[in-house]
Amino acid sequence: MSFKLPKLFLYVLGAILVLNLLQAFFTPLIFDEAYYWHYAKELAWGYFDHPPMVALMIKIGNVFFNGELGVRFVSCLLSIGTFILLWLAIDNPAKKKYIPHFFALVFSMTLLNAYGFFTLPDTPLLFFTALFLLVYKRFIAKPSFILAIFMGIVMAALMYSKYHAVLVIFFVLLSNIKLILNKYAWLAVITSLICYTPHFIWLYEHDFVSIKYHLFERPNAPYNFNKYTLGFLVNLVAIFGLTFPFVYYALFKSKSKDLFTKALLYLTYGVLIFFFISSFNRRVQTQWIIVVSIPMAILVYNYMLENGKIRKWIYRLGIINIVIILFLRVGLIYEPLFPVNYETHGNKAWMKKIQSEAGDNPVVFENSYRNAPMYAFYTGKTSFSLNNIHYRQNQYSIDDSEKAVQHKKILYISKYLKKNKLAFPKKSGSIYYGVFIDDFESFRKLRCIVNDEKFELNDTEHSVTVYNPYKEDIGLSKLKFAIAYLNGSKQFQELIPIDLVPENDKITQLSANDSTLFTFKLPKPKTTNLPKYFKMVISENDLQYGLNSNTIELD
């Protein structure tokens, strides 16, 4: 396997790198990037929604650059690395004659192009998938101790990028089941687990909050064919654009001629089938299937080298794809060129407008892990997302950012406040309203731990432990308790206040870093027909009720 890259390849690669760096510099952040920038303010072995690789990338980038380029610098480098790894994974010597065709294929893949400058967990996922496949190719040709160690490290890096990486590792293993008898393969697995141990420890210390959310707590709408299954099929087209019929034709015609090709096919079909089945249960987001771009780029380009007609069509349509993508990329910066209002548009000015009213006072956004970090990024001021029963938990629910707004005068921003003079219309058309709170106090980390296992809508008395993780006592007079009923899709339906009876009737406060035992009865719902789940929720100082317990199933 030659690692020498042709001059034309390097020239095109260099041009793409310069283009991506310029795009990264001039394009305002999207909301997810701002959220991951919030991650990076305090490096950890894990975060609420994702493993820590994306935060580490931003932290490294900020060493070299400020602003948007600092957030995206490492992504620009990794995307170039992905193209190099894909090229090295292709053995056909004819590839040197068709370098423009290679770039017409890979650079025309919509999300592979976008992740060339956006910083999202999928960016390192794509890079480490390409690296994993290249290392695996060498491993099956000649396994060794050093190669096994390196493959284990790469597998861990995959898992540190995004939890979906488990599908990459699983389907490659499934394609070569004899690996379970290979001592070097076991060495790779053990190395990977050792490298991943810090994240396992982080999950344990945080009560497996990420796993619980993704697998059990995440709300979901009832099945809808158009939004779910048809949406999944549309995504299959969207990730390849105009080249999609020829790309999938090349995939269909590709045959398993060796273990490496077999791994590529298993990985591609495995991911597609997995998410097709998932589409009957939930909406499959486009980026969830983006990892198939890596094995498909190798399979399709190899097929292009052997089939002139397909090569011509993919090349022509790929060029059209690229022209359209580049036009839209300009539109990310220059708004009039983009066909719709996109999330890179108007946020900077909107945050400055809010800051002009807030001054140096912190801003608390109701239910928005998107707006809170965007405000902090573009103003340099303190912000916080106060999450309630109408929303979901996120990184602001578990980190220490709540401390920075306690007992401060804050500007509270919400879509749902009564209309007043502090109105902040967004470019998208939605209007947020603001109100100042002189002495803000929240206790969103209070946890209700329900002790019983069986719950029915009757007069049975149940016990609940309320845990106060704060360093100060909290008076019960500041708190209100309620039951939030959810439907079968875990969507909030109805809120009914309840009284908690303390085990000791002399208790008037929740002691610091301590648990207090109460009893309660489930009230009958007034408007919800046969709720499937419930949560115990708490309102502090008349704020909206929070998210204070796990989702509990009703019998």
**Mean pLDDT value across residues 81-96:** 96
User: Among the listed ranges 265-279, 319-333, 447-461, which one has the minimum average pLDDT value?
Assistant: 447-461
Taking only the tens place, the pLDDT of each residue in 296-306 is: 999 999 999 99
Give yes or no: residues 18 and 162 share one domain: yes
Give domain status of residue 1, yes or no.
no
pLDDT of residue 2 exceeding 70, the answer is no
**Whole-number Å distance between alpha carbons of 246 and 109:** 13
Taking only the tens place, the pLDDT of each residue in 224-236 is: 898 899 999 999 9
- Pairing of the two strands 533-540 and 423-425: unpaired
pLDDT given for residue 218 in this prediction = 79
Give yes or no: residues 196 and 252 share one domain: yes
Give domain status of residue 342, yes or no.
no
Give domain status of residue 34, yes or no.
yes
- Burial class from Cβ neighbours inside 10 Å (0-12, 13-18, 19+) for residue 19 reads middle
* 412 backbone dihedrals φ, ψ, rounded to 5°: -95, 125
DSSP annotation of 528 reads -
Give domain status of residue 2, yes or no.
no
pLDDT given for residue 506 in this prediction = 87
**Mean pLDDT value across residues 76-91:** 97
**Mean pLDDT value across residues 452-470:** 90
Would you place residue 253 in the very low, low, confident or very high pLDDT band (cuts 50, 70, 90)?
very high
Give yes or no: residues 115 and 238 share one domain: yes
Taking only the tens place, the pLDDT of each residue in 53-81 is: 999 999 999 999 999 999 999 999 999 99
**Whole-number Å distance between alpha carbons of 535 and 549:** 6
Give yes or no: residues 431 and 528 share one domain: no
pLDDT given for residue 352 in this prediction = 96
pLDDT given for residue 81 in this prediction = 98
Of 308, 336, 364, the domain-final residue:
336
| Length of the chain measured in residues | 555
Give CA separation, 553 vs 24, 207, 532, in Å.
Answer: 46, 19, 6
Of 437, 466, 494, the domain-final residue:
437
**Would you state the structure tokens that stand for residue 380, as one six-digit string?**
């340099």
pLDDT given for residue 169 in this prediction = 97
Contact 108, 322 (CB under 8 A): yes
Contact 281, 220 (CB under 8 A): yes
pLDDT given for residue 1 in this prediction = 53
Q: Tell me which residue range forms the domain holding 415.
A: 347-437
Helix (H, G, I), strand (E, B) or coil at 389: coil
**Whole-number Å distance between alpha carbons of 310 and 301:** 10
pLDDT given for residue 298 in this prediction = 98
Average pLDDT, the chain: 95
Give yes or no: residues 316 and 418 share one domain: no
Give domain status of residue 341, yes or no.
no
**Whole-number Å distance between alpha carbons of 494 and 534:** 9
- Structural domains of the chain, count: 3
Would you place residue 219 in the very low, low, confident or very high pLDDT band (cuts 50, 70, 90)?
confident
- Pairing of the two strands 461-468 and 479-486: unpaired
Give domain status of residue 442, yes or no.
no
Give yes or no: residues 173 and 206 share one domain: yes
Taking only the tens place, the pLDDT of each residue in 175-218 is: 999 999 999 999 999 999 999 999 999 999 999 999 989 888 87
Q: How many CA atoms lie within 13 A of 413 on its CB side?
A: 29
pLDDT given for residue 495 in this prediction = 96
Give yes or no: residues 41 and 170 share one domain: yes
Would you place residue 365 in the very low, low, confident or very high pLDDT band (cuts 50, 70, 90)?
very high
pLDDT given for residue 374 in this prediction = 98
Would you place residue 530 in the very low, low, confident or very high pLDDT band (cuts 50, 70, 90)?
confident
Taking only the tens place, the pLDDT of each residue in 376-420 is: 999 999 999 999 999 999 999 999 999 999 999 999 999 988 777
pLDDT given for residue 555 in this prediction = 84
Give yes or no: residues 178 and 35 share one domain: yes
- The CATH number of the domain where 468 resides is what? 2.60.40
Type of residue found at 207:
D
Residue ranges in 41-121 assigned as alpha helix (H): 53-64, 67-88, 99-106, 110-114
Give yes or no: residues 46 and 132 share one domain: yes
Answer left, alpha or beta for residue 499, where phi above 0 means left and psi between -120 and 50 means alpha.
Answer: beta
Give domain status of residue 311, yes or no.
yes
Would you place residue 502 in the very low, low, confident or very high pLDDT band (cuts 50, 70, 90)?
very high
Give yes or no: residues 269 and 358 share one domain: no
Would you place residue 48 in the very low, low, confident or very high pLDDT band (cuts 50, 70, 90)?
very high
Give yes or no: residues 277 and 360 share one domain: no
Give yes or no: residues 377 and 470 share one domain: no
**Mean pLDDT value across residues 439-465:** 91
Give 1's contacts (C-beta < 8 A, 6+ positions apart).
88, 91, 138
Contact 417, 435 (CB under 8 A): yes
Nearest Cα residue to 445 out of 475, 382, 505, 403 = 403
pLDDT given for residue 259 in this prediction = 97
Would you place residue 326 in the very low, low, confident or very high pLDDT band (cuts 50, 70, 90)?
very high
pLDDT given for residue 448 in this prediction = 96
Contact 55, 43 (CB under 8 A): yes
Taking only the tens place, the pLDDT of each residue in 116-149 is: 999 999 999 999 999 999 999 999 999 999 999 9
Of 437, 455, 475, the domain-final residue:
437
Residue ranges in 182-238 assigned as alpha helix (H): 183-205, 209-212, 229-238
Give domain status of residue 414, yes or no.
yes
